[in-house]
Structure 1
Amino acid sequence: MDKRRLLRELGLTKYETDAYLNILERGMVEASTINKEAKIPFGKIYETLNMLASKGLIDVQNTRPKKYKAKKPELAFDNLFKDKKEDMENDLQKTRETITQIREEITKIHTKQPKEKIFWTTAVGDEVGELIRSNFEEAEKEICILIYYKHQQTPKHQFEGEKLSIMNEVIKAIMRGVKVKALLSRDFKLQHMNVLKKFNTIEKTLKTIEIRIVDDPPPAHFMIIDSEKVVLRVDDPTDLNKILAIIKIWDVKLAKKLKDKFDEIWNESEPFELTQHTNSTE
């Protein structure tokens, strides 16, 4: 492998890399030699050597002139790793403290109520999986979902790479007390029983997730988040097994309208006992 590239990835500058490799090859060397052979400007040579010493890669003999010798690589790079780890932990702690402070300051800002009551955003292509995940991440109280699967005869693989992170956010939402109510078509239930089994592995999910089955749901797929946001799915007209886009709308009136429709269907649907069905399929 390219040792120069690796040293640069460890944080050494070009001059530091050239000087360090020259010292390694020479065994013991003076600054004037490094200046000539590594082609490091004389005005930069001592600054470069001091940085290598501070990083624990070389030893310095304080004679006139000074001489430089590389430390054993095993020891030198172990120490470099420890120093970097300590620096990163310190930086992370400072970041935590800064975030705590900025949160406190931000909450003091009075946000004006916008004249427009509706706000929306869309996700297309690779952005869809991220938006689906974020819906569960930001939920605080309740998520109502209606899933219509009349056309989709096979499980989706469109967001295979996102499935784990989406599932994790669903479980996190449930674990922090977000109530989830899902209206599923019977076709969806049959095709995704393995997914439902995963929820049954966490006892607390049984207290906060409710599922009901509907035989003839309206041809729509929507989500209502905290009675204020609505998420609509747009299927690809050329392939109904794929999602073309997701539209997320901040609109309390629309959320209420869809929630009323959701509740109407919910009251007429068939309760689905998660524990009973998952245990019976094992």
Structure 2
Amino acid sequence: MKHLQELGLTYYESKVLEIALHRRVTLRELSIKASIPFGKVYSIVKVMIKKGLLEETNDRPKHVYVADPTRVLERLIEEKQQKDEALIQKARDLASELPRLDPASFKFFQIGTNREDNNKIQQRTFTEARKEVCQILNIHHNPKLNRQSKILWENEISKSVQRGVKFRAIYPERTKLPPKLQVIKQGFDVRRLDTDFVRCDIIDKKKVLIKFTAEDAIQFAGVLFIENEGLARNFQNIFEQLWEQAKD
């Protein structure tokens, strides 16, 4: 099921497709086997039929099934590849435009190559946010390392929430929230998902902070802060897909 989610399906769509790939089922059977409320199953199946992922019979009760499993899976893979390639191309297009930019506009594109840069640039997430920050913390995130900096960011998150900024954060499934963040009751929502997507913040759907880290979290490759609504929109779309897949 996890692999189906990585191909772009929601958590519930993945559960439905995993069952329907193996046999024809009624909506009632699907509800029981997938542990999805019956009323919700109907709307999920309706969307999946519209997407061409499922077919339904004309008998009573109706059964749903996957007519051509191989073709459906191939299509999901192709769509995922196209989305990934489109995002990469957007980044390439942005990079190709940089040499033509006026030097005064470089405040919209900032690069950091060491931890001091990282601290300064990360601060922009909290000082420049006005409405919402969406964060993806991937499977390499370790809250126990580099605690001095992380305590600073946890305090900044708390201050931002107090002035009305909403945070939505995706954390790895087994990562424990720091005590400072556990006590925030409103304005800081967390869901759990193990993803290797790049560590990033999307600020007000207009700016993106991207951190490049390795599996060894002590290694730090660099950080980018980019103010570009097109790029931010792409990252926001990916965040929303992951948010839908993540567990409360």
TM-score (norm 1): 0.46
Q: Can you list the C-alpha shifts for 1:244-268, whole angstroms capped at 9, x where unaligned?
A: 2110001101111111111111112
Partner of 1:163: 150
SS at match of 2:219: strand
Partner of 1:210: 189
2:113 is the counterpart of 1:134: no
* Bigger CA radius of gyration: 1
CA separation of 1:260/1:219 partners in 2, compared to 1, >3 Å: closer, same or farther? closer
- Structure 2 residue ranges without an equivalent (≥5): 1-101
Give the whole-Å Cα distance in 1 for the aligned partners of 2:204 and 2:217: 29
Query: Match for 1:232 among 210, 232, 235?
Result: 210
2:164 is the counterpart of 1:199: no
Give the whole-Å Cα distance in 1 for the aligned partners of 2:172 and 2:153: 21
TM-score (norm 2): 0.52
Q: Can you list the C-alpha shifts for 1:117-142, whole angstroms capped at 9, x where unaligned?
A: 99310122222122222311221100
2:241 is the counterpart of 1:264: yes
Amino acid aligned to 2:123? R
Query: Match for 2:165 among 174, 178, 181?
Result: 178
CA separation of 1:246/1:175 partners in 2, compared to 1, >3 Å: closer, same or farther? same
CA separation of 1:147/1:245 partners in 2, compared to 1, >3 Å: closer, same or farther? same
Amino acid aligned to 1:177? G
Runs of 4+ in 1 over 4 A off after TM superposition: none
Alignment length (residue pairs): 145
Give the whole-Å Cα distance in 1 for the aligned partners of 2:172 and 2:149: 23
Q: How does 1:88-99 map to 2 (within 5 A)?
A: none
Q: How does 1:44-193 map to 2 (within 5 A)?
A: 119-125=108-114, 126-149=116-139, 151=140, 155-158=143-146, 160-187=147-174, 189=175, 192-193=176-177
- Structure 1 residue ranges without an equivalent (≥5): 1-113, 272-282
Q: Can you list the C-alpha shifts for 1:8-67, whole angstroms capped at 9, x where unaligned?
A: xxxxxxxxxxxxxxxxxxxxxxxxxxxxxxxxxxxxxxxxxxxxxxxxxxxxxxxxxxxx
CA contact (8 A) 1:156 1:242 kept: no
Give the whole-Å Cα distance in 1 for the aligned partners of 2:144 and 2:214: 13
Q: Which has the higher contact order (CA 8 A, sep 6+)?
A: 2
SS at match of 2:218: strand
CA contact (8 A) 1:144 1:225 kept: yes
Give the whole-Å Cα distance in 1 for the aligned partners of 2:106 and 2:118: 24
- Give the % identical residues: 23
Superposed displacement of residue 236, structure 1: 5.2
SS at match of 2:130: coil
Partner of 1:220: 198
CA contact (8 A) 2:200 2:208 kept: yes
Partner of 2:95: none
Give the whole-Å Cα distance in 1 for the aligned partners of 2:243 and 2:165: 18
SS at match of 1:230: strand
